[in-house]
Structure 1
């Protein structure tokens, strides 16, 4: 395969980043609204703490749905193309997010309100289950392997930009008086999903299909289709999928701990104004952008798995200090604590796509990568709920949430280190074949 033109690479990276940013904007809106709005409007008859837990349960529903999306869109991506899969996911996400902004509250339709909210969140989860892996594979399958560390960080920039957009829009509508905010202001960020969908759809339609998939298609036409991708992924590489789950855990679960949970913790437990907590996540997103760029470039020099493991260790060291800073209730120190936490966990998030994608053969790579990442997402979806429960059991103290962040980071250190050992053992053959003794190798 000839080297891609630099203009084609830039066009692809722009499309991958922009589309992913818009998709994550839609997805992250729900997390912010779970902490600020849904507990009051969709679970008003519950105790405030119980209402927050119920709100985070609907938040977790989206993560439970993600493996379903991974299975569906992994199959579509491996059989019909990465581009086709990404077009479907972005349309589904845009429509479901916009519909959330149109939902009546509990006061209007009773129990149907949280039921419909949960359904739409479930559909969001299915959509995002196929999004990340498709955008990442399109990027890496178009670009030189020696630059995969830095190139894999480009789609990851969609996460903080999506956070900036969602938190920024919520910060603006948060300036409204409470009556206006809770009656109609909170709906504006969700309704913006409709026009943003048109932008995302245009970008996705103009993405070139992966050259790796085109080669797979030619092979299938000559030799017939391969076995069901997801079944093959579980049968031949289940051990590597477990490694991928661990390596990806911090970048997903840690992020929601330091964004979705921290907003709820600051406003409900510490009594900090919601605007301060929203501003903290905005600052954290800016820090994340800078860290992703630096960590991606560092991955080209010292290896993607090394950067992931290093980021996990750093997060373990700053977990408690980050929460102690937030506990001071001082605005500047809250900003610093959230920025430190998000900045540290962004280090492994930058090159995780390069780590996970190189572990799987081409013929079922989309399915395997999507399932690994989204099973980590399932665990991550319960992180805010678990952190809230731990904090409540500790009478509002933050040590339980900080310890949870340490445990999540330790999982990523173990997963990243194992990925590195596997990569060293098998070298470049990881991208083209699967060893017969895979199970024994992974458990060794």
Structure 2
């Protein structure tokens, strides 16, 4: 249940982060700036697999007794950093223009209500498309260790190293492809 709540929260924060980055990007750089929100996934994977690899060095008994809790407790630092950024974050110029326009017209609409009234089908298509596109990634990263070690009898360190390498490659490739999208994509 907590994973479901976490997923919904991350989905909202990720979308908001992309929107803020894109709205504040210089002209012609929206894809590149928007890609930095996606890097949170690969940086998080690097941090988590590295932390679990480090904790597994203490042996199975120590890992099961206390080592597996250390990375989760350490993530509290990231939560605090995220809260500080969130509290200090200002509206983008695009959103400020929307607020000014609403004030001029005397409107105080809730955009989320308007979206669900006028475009609920598009919202559902987006939700299911995103679930399909990212679902496999999260299933693999969530269950790979237990399936790989328990059913396939693979080394836990090999699987963690593989996940770490994949996250590192994603960290390198995502900004480059996003930069490329700005340069050769539709304008």
Sort the TM-score into its range (normalised by shorter chain): 0.7 to 0.9
Q: Which structure has more RCO (C-alpha within 8 Å, separation ≥ 6)?
A: 2
Deviation sequence 1:15-72 (CA, Å, 0-9, x none)? xxxxxxxxxxxxxxxxxxxxxxxxxxxxxxxxxxxxxxxxxxxxxxxxxxxxxxxxxx
Aligned positions of 1:115-134 closer than 5 A = 118=1, 120-134=2-16
The CA distance in 2 between the partners of 1:259 and 1:123, in whole Å, is 18
Pair 204,279 (structure 1): closer, same or farther in 2 beyond 3 Å: same
Query: Which one of the candidate residues 300, 303, 323 is aligned to 2:185?
Result: 303
TM-score by length of 2: 0.85
Query: Which one of the candidate residues 186, 189, 207 is aligned to 2:71?
Result: 189
Question: Match for residue 220 of structure 1?
Answer: 102
SS at match of 1:255: helix
Question: Match for residue 161 of structure 1?
Answer: 43
RMSD: 2.4
Q: Judge conservation of contact 2:18–2:35 (CA < 8 Å) in 1.
A: no
Q: Structure 1: state its 5+ residue gaps.
A: 1-117, 305-427, 429-444
Aligned positions of 1:344-359 closer than 5 A = none
Pair 205,283 (structure 1): closer, same or farther in 2 beyond 3 Å: same
Query: Which one of the candidate residues 147, 157, 166 is aligned to 1:284?
Result: 166
Pair 302,236 (structure 1): closer, same or farther in 2 beyond 3 Å: farther
Question: Match for residue 273 of structure 1?
Answer: 155
Deviation sequence 1:338-384 (CA, Å, 0-9, x none)? xxxxxxxxxxxxxxxxxxxxxxxxxxxxxxxxxxxxxxxxxxxxxxx
Pair 196,275 (structure 1): closer, same or farther in 2 beyond 3 Å: same
Q: Please state how far the C-alpha of 1:154 moved relative to its aligned partner.
A: 1.3
The CA distance in 2 between the partners of 1:125 and 1:255, in whole Å, is 13
Query: Which one of the candidate residues 74, 97, 119 is aligned to 1:237?
Result: 119
More displaced, 257-266 or 129-138? 257-266
Q: Structure 2: state its 5+ residue gaps.
A: none
Equivalenced residue count is 186
Pair 249,195 (structure 1): closer, same or farther in 2 beyond 3 Å: closer
Q: Please state how far the C-alpha of 1:167 moved relative to its aligned partner.
A: 1.1
Pair 284,152 (structure 1): closer, same or farther in 2 beyond 3 Å: same
Q: Judge conservation of contact 1:149–1:303 (CA < 8 Å) in 2.
A: no
